[in-house]
Chain A
């Protein structure tokens, strides 16, 4: 006698059981024990000052002063409680809610900041400067990730973001120096990015070479080429070849006077404002226009698009070239905003971080934007901390952005779903 004869027929989806996933509780537990040992027991006997506004701001907010010991213990206990609770949740077959993870992350950051600033020689940090710097450093990452979004959404893996940024930076420096005009440099950066893109597009779309390999090879090629030109041509006469003018910083009246956020968001170079425009255009374009619909279709199911008369490879080609423009602007940031000269391999792996931001942001322009901000924050924290005279060795601080990257991509993304046809060349027939 079978068990099923008594079962009622049912419509709708099959019932679900919980597959217990211990990953989150284990990570939370490890991190909270770490916090207890380092941030609480190892807390410096110090009070830590976080400054929210500069003294010359229109509206001055009061400083926040915390005791490192109290903060360390309070946060560690709260984190341990969160970890224990998450264990119980999973044991009873439920999922750890997203907000709990977020609260945990905020607590961890507060504890870490208090501890690391407290152990520095000057336990006093300008929070507004930390945030503003994060935002600035995130600009090239955002351009890089947007370049990745354009490529991957249309089905081409773009490992060459690093090369696009570097060549953009190089082109901007040289063209800016020769013409004496930063805007010429900016245009040249876009062209430089497109050149790298064109090689990527030709090899990966037309000649169907493995896209990851083309990307990596392009990065090495650009690094070698710009390095060679830097040491031969640029170094021979830096005044002529390698001293581009900087792009001016433009403050938007009224908006830039908003406390904390104003200076962060509305005191940018042209490249910074271009970033807002690119973000908005790509976001709206991707999800609300004909171009975006076709782009996403060729990245998800190129054959379906082809059977509806969409030219798959032409669509991909255009997107990869456009991505070159976007990444080129990001490259210009290095030589026209950050410093005013090109240096060998000056992008220093930012292209790969941008790639991580793209994945962490789940192939969504807005997601990539916020992910890039996080990585920008990690990078800037490293600079600020070494300036404060942190007791943590510099080498470890330098690892910070990359540690955050690995945790973000491996631990927090979970099962992100990339465009289905990303990296798969389309061959007709």
Chain B
């Protein structure tokens, strides 16, 4: 184990066909530093790191380790050179134990190739104790919470004596508390002389943990910034123009409560209560945002409203009509607009044209159809209108929706769902994987829908987004409602609720924490 490793990227260019994902990128990562790579989705951060980790071969450019040029033929070479990576989507075999995952590719063996997992277990315990990970080597990965799985990924790198750790969007899947713990772990690793490359688009985290920030936009390095740079400066570097990070929305004018959910319970196929006795209502002209870590029943809640779930009990009423037990098509026709969480799988048909995708919810109704025949001229005219209105960047209305960028795809979905008068609008992860410029636009459209008097239900795992949009916030934990709190509730309090505390307890604990450290977190946010 050496003490530290200096890593240098010189003029790295990576092309995929005509697309230039990385354009002459220079980067120097010093040992004992947290070096953040800040950029929007699609800016080329992950591509760059995959080049560095030997998963992609660079089209041009050089990688230097301790000033010596190296070429990586695969991740094996990168690991041998002391580079470890924690991928955004964990590279863990779900049915294997922690020890098996850590051993894989680096197995200790006895005679005749028999596995010797005892050595691996010992190493895991050693590292786990050193950093306070609390990881059981014999636990099966799929039974572990995401935060622990991530630690297993870090252990995988450390067992291989990694001196440079690449963390690719590591906080995307974590609760605020887990995020804080991870930032703490990064501090410890840094103190041990490791170099850490932290990839993120979350300004607050980047500022909190970095020693130096490199901003990437459209495959190019825009420049470096110190962590003391303001969020607006960083956002401007990242997007390339001034952006307003706060949405100026008027106060809600809630009207009559036309959408009510009472005692809603949804069972999974195996009998788990994935949604457990939820009751809430949304008024006309109000945005209710559901906060929670991914996988706490949000998906099932929205799908139950839309009639996509099987084992549903309780009641969902929209303007006095019961929705439970109705067919999906009837629910849609009753005036429910729905933006699903995964646009590429559920929101769009990637091989259909933009114009066709824009009428998926009304394709069989006039004016788009007469009898069995569709009317292409009307469909195209409709498409032109929405492409202009939502500023969808597409070559034409005939282009396949799958060829559009994430933000533009999301605009197509949103345009379709908002293209008719609604009695309820549901949007799940409305801006996931969408560039900052489009986020601003999509948020404004959501607020506009509220302002015409539609009850709006937003589900988001991004606390920033929840705080941005919500008039009231409902927090879900393991399918249960931890409470409904007003829009101005603090991050800390929401974080505690997202980890399973009810509203009153969270408020009490947060007040106590704030009393203890009055001046530490005050300036930020």
Interface residues of A (CB under 8 A from B): 2-11, 13-19, 288-294, 296-297, 300-301, 303-310, 417, 420, 428-429
Contact = CB atoms under 8 A, between A and B. Distances in A.
14 contacts: A3-B263, A6-B502, A7-B481, A9-B500, A9-B502, A9-B505, A14-B272, A14-B273, A18-B271, A300-B96, A301-B91, A306-B75, A308-B91, A308-B104
Interface in B90-125: 90-96, 100-101, 103-107, 109, 112-115
A15 B55 contact: no
B79 interface: yes
B271 A2 contact: no
A294 B104 contact: yes
A3 B276 CA distance: 11
Contact of A289 (B56, B113, B263, B272): B113
Given A17-B271, A293-B100, A4 B480 contact: yes
B93 A304 contact: yes
Contacts of B90: 304
A99 B505 CA distance: 47
Given A16-B272, A290-B107, A3 B311 contact: no
Given A4-B483, A9-B477, 6 more contacts: A4-B482, A14-B478, A290-B109, A294-B104, A297-B96, A417-B95
Nearest to B479: A14
Contacts of A305: 93, 104-105
Contacts of B114: 288-290
B79 A309 contact: yes
A2 B273 contact: no
Interface in B490-508: 500-505
Contact of A5 (B113, B311, B500, B504): B504
B72 to A, nearest CB: 11
A18 B273 CA distance: 9
B279 interface: yes
A289 B106 CA distance: 12
A429 B56 contact: yes
Given A17-B271, A304-B93, A3 B481 contact: yes
Contacts of A288: 114-115
| Most chain A beta-carbon contacts within 10 A, residue among B90, B105, B278 | B105
B95 A15 contact: no
B271 A19 contact: yes
Nearest to A421: B93
B147 interface: no
Contacts of A9: 477, 482, 500-502, 505
A325 B20 CA distance: 47
B502 A19 contact: no
Contact of B269 (A8, A19, A428): A19
A21 to B, nearest CB: 9
A289 B56 CA distance: 30
A310 B55 CA distance: 12
A162 to B, nearest CB: 29
A297 B93 contact: yes
A420 B142 CA distance: 13
B100 A309 contact: no
B130 interface: no
B270 interface: yes
Interface of B: 53, 55-56, 74-76, 79, 85, 87, 90-96, 100-101, 103-107, 109, 112-115, 156, 263, 265, 267-274, 276-280, 311, 474, 477-484, 500-505
A178 B279 CA distance: 80
Given A5-B503, A14-B479, A297 B271 contact: no
B91 A293 contact: no
A11 B480 CA distance: 12
Contact of B105 (A18, A291, A303, A310): A310
A296 B101 CA distance: 11
A25 B440 CA distance: 56
Contact of A10 (B76, B268, B277, B478): B478
- 3 nearest A-B residue pairs (beta carbon): A309-B76, A308-B105, A4-B481
Contact of B93 (A290, A292, A300, A417): A300
A303 B156 CA distance: 15
Contacts of B87: 307
B273 A293 contact: no
B92 A17 contact: no
A19 B501 CA distance: 28
A51 B55 CA distance: 66
A309 to B, nearest CB: 3
Most A Cβ at <10 Å: residue of B92, B113, B474 = B113
Nearest to A419: B95
A295 to B, nearest CB: 11
Contacts of A429: 55-56
A5 B483 contact: yes
Nearest to A311: B74
Contacts of B482: 4, 7, 9
Given A3-B277, A288-B114, A309 B271 contact: no
Contacts of B277: 3-4
B118 to A, nearest CB: 13
A307 B91 CA distance: 7
A296 B107 CA distance: 14
Given A19-B311, A289-B112, A289-B113, A8 B502 contact: yes
A161 B479 CA distance: 46
Q: Which of B104, B273, B478 has the most CB of A within 10 A?
A: B104
A13 B295 CA distance: 12
Nearest to B91: A304
Contacts of A2: 279-280, 474, 481, 483-484
B50 to A, nearest CB: 8
Contacts of A303: 91
Nearest to B496: A9
A286 to B, nearest CB: 11
Contact of A293 (B79, B104, B504): B104
A19 B268 CA distance: 8
A42 to B, nearest CB: 40
A102 to B, nearest CB: 22
Contact of A301 (B55, B94, B156, B279): B94
A310 B96 CA distance: 16
Nearest to B263: A3
B481 A290 contact: no
A420 B141 CA distance: 14
A202 to B, nearest CB: 22
Contacts of B501: 9
Contacts of A420: 94-95
B263 to A, nearest CB: 7
Contacts of B505: 9
A300 B277 CA distance: 36
Contacts of A294: 104-105, 107
